[in-house]
Amino acid sequence: MRHSRKYDLTLGRAAPTISSMDESFEAVQDFIRVILHLDMDAFFTSVEQVDDPLLQGKPVVIGQSLRGVASAASYEARKYGIKSAMPIVQAKKLCPHAVFLPGRMARYREVSRQVMDIIRDLCPLVEQASVDEAYADISGTRRLFGPPENLALRLKAEILSATGLTCSVGIAPNKFLAKIASDWNKPDGLTRIRPIDAPAFLQALPLGKIPGVGTHFKEELRRMGVTTVPDVLARPKAYWAEALGKRGAFLHDRACGIDDSSVVPGTDPKSCSAENTLDKDTLDRALLERQLLIQAERIGRELRGIGKKGLTVTLKIKFHDFSAITRSKTLHRPTDITKEIFDAARKLLAAEKLPQPVRLIGTGVSNFRLVQVELPLMPDATRKRSRKLDETMDRILDKFGSGSIARAETAIRDADTVEDLLSQKNRTLNGQ
Ligand code: TTP
Ligand code: MG
Ligand code: MG
């Protein structure tokens, strides 16, 4: 997927027709909103394939724990029926020779930032919608870039050259249709839905692709005899508003291709978190603490990478019976230091009775504050030392990458403190 293929702007799938439009109609488009939606192709696994060429062309799945689910599957893995959110056990049955990787969230976020910077550089109004997708309102950019397809091609080319990754872009008069368009011809797609073409696209759209139409809602609709978009349109909006209230009116609007929502920029992350489903439910506090430490490291590195410090640390525990609790602690000052995040999470864990074995444990840092300058008048030796340690670790991880993290993680078994752990890590990394 490294190389961009030639774009065929006519549609291969389900073949709605794009009407030919003359120049004057094209000019009128300037007065209609033009929304672009960009979504990276098989994002996590594609990053892995670019970083490790040996993985190219192979089925790759992110997720290793036999009790967890796949977070991503490469297009090669999808040929075997593997998809996101599928239990790993099932994925292994479908394709035993797939490469199952633990995932490197910090790296994906790093690439995500690169991609978002490129989009923000070229587009006036950008809303990041998830780690791998963004909307841009590009109304009125025709004079600068020509038709919106040109801008889309330029985005795709710049992203490919900066990251080695392909993405799919949709262009449409609103966010809802733009997202349908980007999904239409994945991977490496570029699809435009003009207002006049919207009904043809919507006819073939599975109801589950409409936001808010999940498994339960779909079942509710099926009981009403409604399984397709044309079924929705066969009943007037008043019917839907009466039968299902706001949900019904929303459903009818989307089935008509209507979406007035705006592109809202400034979606800065509000929190950083990491969680792990354990290989076996456990009451072993030492083992749980080790997970917290690994998570604190991941979160600390991510916070330092994005230049954020958080004031609140949250512990999340899911028990054997799937009941869950979250506990939070507000710190005296905002932090991005691994040791401080770990200490807070460890205290929260220590204060908890564990009435049943723990299935999942997670740490989060939120309540971001502006990064403060450390006051030299109040030297804080511990903090300084911790920060130095973090900086060293970051440099090592940047240099040696995920392999070093994986090797290092096996070395933490008997670590008592973060310093212990990190010095052990350094030894591991140095091959001692
Ligand atoms: P998506 O954009 O939904 O999927 P994708 O990029 O892997 O594949 P596609 O080409 O179809 O867009 O999600 C982006 C990343 O988010 C994905 O690579 C992994 C992560 N993710 C999860 O962690 N859990 C999930 O359930 C999903 C759907 C995605
Ligand atoms: Mg994607
Ligand atoms: Mg996505």
At 122-153, the pLDDT tens digits run: 998 999 988 899 999 999 888 888 899 999 99
CATH class entry, domain 202-255: mainly alpha
Of 48, 133, 289, 297, the catalytic one is 133
Report the distance separating Cα 260 and Cα 258, nearest Å: 7
220 is catalytic: no
Residue nearest to atom 7 of ligand 1 (CA): 42
Which pLDDT value is given to residue 281? 93
Report the distance separating Cα 346 and Cα 327, nearest Å: 11
Pocket test for ligand 1, best of 69, 132, 163 (most atoms within 8 A of CB): 132
Report the distance separating Cα 155 and Cα 253, nearest Å: 30
Residues of each domain in the chain carrying CATH 1.10.150.20:
202-255
- Per-residue model confidence as pLDDT tens digits over 348-367: 999 999 999 999 999 999 99
Q: Which ligand is nearest to the CA of 62?
A: 1
Mean pLDDT of 219-247: 96
Residues of each domain in the chain carrying CATH 3.30.1490.100:
271-427
Residue nearest to atom 5 of ligand 1 (CA): 42
* Lowest-pLDDT range of 7-21, 77-91, 305-319: 7-21
Determine the atom of ligand 1 nearest the C-alpha atom of 132.
Answer: 14
Pocket test for ligand 1, best of 78, 84, 131 (most atoms within 8 A of CB): 84
Distance 182 CA to ligand 2 centre (A): 10
Q: Which ligand is nearest to the CA of 71?
A: 1
Determine the atom of ligand 1 nearest the C-alpha atom of 186.
Answer: 10
Which residue, among 49, 53, 45, has the nearest Cα to 70 in the 3D structure? 45
Determine the atom of ligand 1 nearest the C-alpha atom of 187.
Answer: 10
Residues of each domain in the chain carrying CATH 3.30.70.270:
36-193
CATH class entry, domain 36-193: alpha beta
Distance 139 CA to ligand 1 centre (A): 28
Which pLDDT value is given to residue 423? 40
What's the pTM value of the predicted model, to 2 decimals?
0.68
| Element housing 274 (H / E) | strand 271-282
Determine the atom of ligand 1 nearest the C-alpha atom of 41.
Answer: 10
With H, G, I as helix, E, B as strand and everything else as coil, classify residue 287.
helix
Show contacts of 126-129: CB within 8 Å, 24+ apart. 126/263, 126/265, 127/263, 127/264, 127/265, 127/267, 128/267, 129/37, 129/267
Distance 286 CA to ligand 1 centre (A): 33
Residue nearest to atom 15 of ligand 1 (CA): 43
* Lowest-pLDDT range of 92-96, 133-137, 210-214, 301-305: 301-305
Q: Which two tokens stand for residue 161?
A: 């050259």
Could you tell me what percent of the chain has a pLDDT over 70?
A: 81
How does DSSP assign 86-155, residue by residue? -BHHHHHHH-TTSEEE---HHHHHHHHHHHHHHHHHH-SEEEEEETTEEEEE-TT-HHHHSSHHHHHHHH
Distance 392 CA to ligand 2 centre (A): 33
Distance 187 CA to ligand 2 centre (A): 9
Distance 40 CA to ligand 3 centre (A): 6
Which pLDDT value is given to residue 9? 44
What Cα–Cα distance (Å) separates residue 135 from each residue in 46, 262, 266? 21, 10, 12
Q: Which ligand is nearest to the CA of 130?
A: 3
* Lowest-pLDDT range of 127-141, 300-314, 374-388, 395-409: 395-409
Residue nearest to atom 28 of ligand 1 (CA): 84
Residue 6 has pLDDT above 50, yes or no: no
Could you tell me what percent of the chain has a pLDDT over 90?
A: 63
Tell me the pLDDT of the chain averaged across its residues. Answer: 84
Q: Are 61 and 98 in contact (CB under 8 A)?
A: yes
Angle at 54 between CA 50 and CA 60, to 5 degrees: 75
Mean pLDDT of 243-272: 90
Report the distance separating Cα 344 and Cα 416, nearest Å: 15
Which band of pLDDT confidence, cut at 50, 70 and 90, is reported for residue 331? very high
Residue 29 has pLDDT above 70, yes or no: no
Residue nearest to atom 19 of ligand 1 (CA): 72
Q: Which two tokens stand for residue 323?
A: 């009941």
- Reading across the β-sheet that carries 125-130, which strands appear in turn? 125-130, 133-137, 35-40, 167-172, 190-192
Mean pLDDT of 98-106: 91
Which pLDDT value is given to residue 379? 59
Residue nearest to atom 10 of ligand 1 (CA): 41
Angle at 213 between CA 181 and CA 93, to 5 degrees: 85
In the numeric block, the tokens 């004031």 are attached to: 311
Residue 338 has pLDDT above 90, yes or no: yes
- Per-residue model confidence as pLDDT tens digits over 169-189: 999 999 999 999 999 999 999
Determine the atom of ligand 1 nearest the C-alpha atom of 40.
Answer: 6
N-to-C CA span, the chain: 38
Which pLDDT value is given to residue 381? 80
Residue 428 has pLDDT above 70, yes or no: no
Distance 168 CA to ligand 2 centre (A): 8
Distance 234 CA to ligand 2 centre (A): 33
Residue nearest to atom 29 of ligand 1 (CA): 71
Pocket test for ligand 1, best of 1, 38, 41, 44 (most atoms within 8 A of CB): 44
Report the distance separating Cα 27 and Cα 29, nearest Å: 5
Residue nearest to atom 23 of ligand 1 (CA): 71
Q: Is the dihedral of CA 154, 159, 160, 166 positive or negative?
A: negative
Residues having CB closer than 6 A to ligand 1 are 39-44, 71-72, 84-85, 131-133, 186-187
Which pLDDT value is given to residue 25? 53
Which pLDDT value is given to residue 390? 83
CATH number attached to the domain at 271-427: 3.30.1490.100
Residue 50 has pLDDT above 50, yes or no: yes
Determine the atom of ligand 1 nearest the C-alpha atom of 85.
Answer: 26
